[in-house]
Every structure is written in structure tokens, then in C-alpha cells.
Amino acid sequence: MSHLRHKMKLKFLLPHILQAEWNIEEIHIKDFIKKFGYWAWEQSIPALKIDINSSSNIMGEEESFILPLEEGDEQCIFFTSYNRKVFWVEYGRKMDNEIFIPFISSDRIKDCHFKECPIMPLPKNLVHSKALMQINQYVL
């Protein structure tokens, strides 16, 4: 399976809030099934692996976390409490608790030293999503 680099976008929306976006091509799915079998596809779930390293790239300071996703997801917004770190993400399939098979990965980005500010505007699409969630809450 070929691992295509930089097919994902990773960016900071706000301090400590990152957004990952991706588009999985059909060839990735076919390659996965060809290499690991249809059973492995059925037994795995889509997942986002978040890799975190110190900004000085010191060995042993790397951590990673795996977030389960829904089939068809093309983005994920997540919170991190880490400061002064380098982040990158990988989209792939997770089997059991120990196996992660990556399809694509993002560039590495370093968190900026955000200026402390008690008030910060939210992105318009985040505000719009919150409004829709409140509307749907009453409809259900």
C-alpha cells in the first residue's frame, strides 16, 4: 500500500483547537482490501491518529492518540492541552486496540505562541454549527 504524504490538511482554528481535513481516494480502499482482505476492512473502523512531538524533536517526547471516526467522515476538530509542540495527523483504519494502518498523513505544524487574550472571536462556521446543534436538539 502506498502511503501518500501531505494529502491531509491540518490547521489551528484557535489556540489548542485543531482541524484535520482529508479526502480518501477509492484506490486507498481497494489497496487496503487487496493487501489485508475484506475481513480486515469489515473488522476495522476509520480513525485519526494524532501525533505530538516536542518542538525541539527530542527523542522520547513523542506521543500519539487515536480518535475513532465514523465511516465517511472527512474532517475532525479536536482539542489539545499541549503547548509548544509539533502536531501531525494520519487517517487510517484501527483494528482492536493496538493496530493502526495509516492511509494518508498531514504536514507537521507547530503551534504558534498565541498571544494571551481574554476574548477571542470564534470561526463563523463553528458558530453556525453550534446554532444548528441547538435547533436539532429541539427537533429530536
pLDDT averaged per 10 residues, the chain (length 140): 62 88 88 92 94 72 89 92 87 90 89 59 61 47
pLDDT of residue 5: 44
What kind of fold does domain 4-115 have according to CATH? Answer: Immunoglobulin-like (2.60.40)
Domain spans, the chain = 4-115
Tally the C-alpha atoms within 13 A of residue 137's C-alpha that lie toward its C-beta. Answer: 6
SS3 132: helix
Q: Are 38 and 118 in contact (CB under 8 A)?
A: no
Predicted TM-score (pTM) of the model is 0.73
Q: Are 38 and 29 in contact (CB under 8 A)?
A: no
